[in-house]
């Protein structure tokens, strides 16, 4: 990577120290799913327009690309009516191009970062854990189909292609475990130009972007020794890239929304160094059949209502927003207010060294009626989270 890098020692809560060397910086890039285009490592594959997706192959890993992640967020309700939000993310980072190209040798050098988080709304607690493993024994991302592992955390496809079913198993230290089935009720949505999603003016600043916006979710949540049956809805992203951010971009604000009327919204605001929306920022509407329509996301469509400052990192995040989006179906402006269920949903990167906010939100109309549910991701805020330092 070009430019500046922070080589200070970072102290973990346990008193251990990590050196933010090359591997740590690569983990930072992996955590956020991008690298600056000019700093992209040569000879990795680059997403291109016109890619012909094939399934189940494209559910699985793409080791010819530098960075890849499978990301799930969801809202759950237990049988006694308590509400939860959860996140499970599996990242894969390939070795440098000069590494051996034999598939077994290549896989053995892959790095795998994973995050798991749970919001317990009743008790107002947010638990999370981060893991870093190397292939192939403790972690892997198989090719040909979705089959991922990081320690005892697992995500795999069980059956079906057009509307498949998945299994997720996860835990957070000794306090939380999840065992969930996720069944797609909408076909796969391809964001961008048939799955080729641009993030900047340079064509290489892009990803292949595949999403199941509505996964009916059932299973068991075990919390502090007690088990609960839960149900709800989840969202799954799968992105494949080798470089996404351009030099003037410092981070992004991203949202996924499930509306009660059966439609879904995905939007990302790629933030420039002057805190404006890059012209390649995008909003996509997904209809009840899974078809997506796209339009540019402009600054006046995304208004910050309230910010929250983390007591631990002192990072300040815009956690409450108002949206004003053109609604092509209704030929009007869709207005919504996103309110976090709990402010302190900050992920602390004790391995990667970068913090970000990933939170469950309610979606309200202008009269205050609940019209949907959402997850919002906020990256690149605060001193330690200034991604421009990595370019």
Residue 390, phi then psi, degrees to nearest 5 = -90, 0
In a domain, 141, yes or no: yes
Q: Tokens for 22, please give them.
A: 């090359």
Is the peptide bond prior to 29 cis by the omega test (within 30 degrees of 0)? no
Rounded-to-integer distance, Cα 238 and Cα 312, Å: 31
**What's the full length of the chain, in residues?**
391
In a domain, 363, yes or no: yes
In a domain, 4, yes or no: no
Beta carbons within 10 angstroms of residue 379's beta carbon:
23
In a domain, 55, yes or no: no
Report CA-CA distances (Å) from 225 to 85, 170, 221, 228.
Answer: 19, 15, 10, 10
Give the model's pLDDT for residue 116. Answer: 96
pLDDT above 50 for 387: no
Give the model's pLDDT for residue 134. Answer: 84
Question: Which range, of 20-24, 146-150, 268-272, averages the lowest pLDDT?
Answer: 20-24
Beta strands in 98-144 (DSSP E): 111-120, 125-134, 139-141
Give the model's pLDDT for residue 76. Answer: 98
In a domain, 51, yes or no: no
Instruction: Report which of residues 245 and 339 the model is more confident about.
Output: 339
Residue 231: HSE in the Cβ half-sphere, 13 Å Cα cutoff: 5
Give the model's pLDDT for residue 329. Answer: 76
pLDDT above 70 for 6: no
Residue range of the domain that includes 95: 10-46+63-390
> Quick one: DSSP state of residue 383?
S
pLDDT above 90 for 239: yes
Give the model's pLDDT for residue 200. Answer: 86
Q: Tokens for 348, please give them.
A: 């602390």
Average pLDDT (371-379) is: 97
Give the model's pLDDT for residue 97. Answer: 57
Instruction: Report which of residues 356 and 109 the model is more confident about.
Output: 356
Give the model's pLDDT for residue 32. Answer: 41
Instruction: Report which of residues 87 and 23 the model is more confident about.
Output: 87
pLDDT above 90 for 99: no
> Quick one: DSSP state of residue 302?
E
Instruction: Report which of residues 95 and 331 the model is more confident about.
Output: 331
Q: What percent of the chain has pLDDT over 70?
A: 83
Beta carbons within 10 angstroms of residue 228's beta carbon:
16
In a domain, 57, yes or no: no
- Model confidence pLDDT, tens digit, residues 10-60: 232 332 222 223 333 344 444 343 444 444 446 789 999 999 999 999 999
pLDDT above 70 for 230: yes
What is the band of 73 on the pLDDT scale with cuts at 50, 70, 90? Answer: very high
In a domain, 258, yes or no: yes
In a domain, 54, yes or no: no
| Mean model confidence pLDDT for the chain | 85
Rounded-to-integer distance, Cα 222 and Cα 196, Å: 39
What is the band of 96 on the pLDDT scale with cuts at 50, 70, 90? Answer: low
CB-CB contact of 290 with 189 (8 Å): yes
pLDDT above 90 for 152: yes
- Model confidence pLDDT, tens digit, residues 294-351: 999 999 999 999 999 999 999 999 999 999 999 877 789 999 999 999 999 999 987 8
Give the model's pLDDT for residue 159. Answer: 95
Instruction: Report which of residues 216 and 38 the model is more confident about.
Output: 216
132: exposed, middle or buried (C-beta count within 10 Å: 0-12, 13-18, 19+)? Answer: buried
CB-CB contact of 94 with 63 (8 Å): yes
Give the model's pLDDT for residue 72. Answer: 98
Give the model's pLDDT for residue 20. Answer: 28
- Model confidence pLDDT, tens digit, residues 183-195: 999 999 999 999 9
Residue 44: HSE in the Cβ half-sphere, 13 Å Cα cutoff: 26
Rounded-to-integer distance, Cα 380 and Cα 383, Å: 9
pLDDT above 50 for 357: yes
* Total domains in the fold of the chain: 1
Rounded-to-integer distance, Cα 48 and Cα 40, Å: 16
Q: What is the CATH number of the domain that holds 324?
A: 2.40.370.10
What is the band of 98 on the pLDDT scale with cuts at 50, 70, 90? Answer: low
């Amino acid at each position: 990577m070009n430019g500046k890098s922070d080589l200070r020692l970072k102290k973990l809560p346990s008193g251990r120290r990590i050196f933010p060397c090359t591997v740590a910086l690569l983990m930072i890039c992996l955590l956020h799913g991008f690298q600056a285009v000019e700093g992209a490592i040569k000879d990795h594959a680059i997403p291109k327009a016109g890619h012909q997706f094939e399934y189940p192959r494209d559910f699985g890993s793409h080791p010819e690309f530098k960075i890849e992640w499978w990301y799930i967020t969801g809202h759950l309700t237990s049988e006694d009516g308590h509400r939860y939000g959860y996140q499970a993310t599996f990242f894969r980072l390939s070795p440098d191009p000069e590494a051996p190209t034999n598939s077994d040798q290549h896989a053995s050098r892959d790095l795998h970062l994973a995050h798991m988080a749970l919001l317990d709304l009743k008790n107002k607690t947010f638990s999370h854990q981060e893991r870093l493993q190397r292939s192939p024994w403790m972690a892997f991302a198989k090719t040909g189909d979705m089959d991922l592992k990081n320690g005892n955390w697992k995500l795999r496809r069980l059956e079906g292609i057009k509307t498949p079913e998945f299994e997720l198993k996860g835990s957070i230290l000794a306090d939380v475990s999840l065992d969930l089935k996720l069944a797609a009720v909408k076909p796969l949505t391809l964001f961008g130009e048939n799955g080729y999603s641009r993030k900047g003016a340079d064509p290489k600043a892009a990803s292949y972007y595949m999403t199941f916006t509505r996964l009916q979710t059932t299973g068991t949540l075990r919390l502090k020794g007690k088990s609960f049956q839960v149900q709800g809805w989840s969202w799954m992203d799968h992105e494949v890239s080798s470089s996404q951010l351009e030099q003037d971009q410092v981070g992004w604000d991203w949202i996924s929304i499930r509306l009660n009327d059966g439609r879904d919204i995905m939007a990302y605001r790629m933030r420039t160094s002057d805190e404006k929306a890059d012209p390649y920022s995008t909003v996509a509407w997904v209809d009840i059949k899974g078809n997506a329509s796209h339009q540019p996301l402009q600054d006046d469509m995304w208004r910050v209502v309230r910010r929250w400052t983390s007591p631990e990192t002192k990072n300040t995040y815009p956690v409450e927003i108002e949206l004003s989006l053109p609604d092509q179906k209704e030929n009007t402006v869709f207005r919504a207010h996103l309110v976090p269920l709990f402010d302190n949903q900050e992920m602390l990167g004790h391995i990667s060294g970068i913090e970000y906010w990933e939170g469950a939100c309610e979606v309200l109309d202008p009269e205050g009626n609940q019209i949907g549910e959402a997850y919002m991701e906020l990256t690149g805020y605060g001193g330690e989270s200034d991604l421009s330092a990595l370019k």
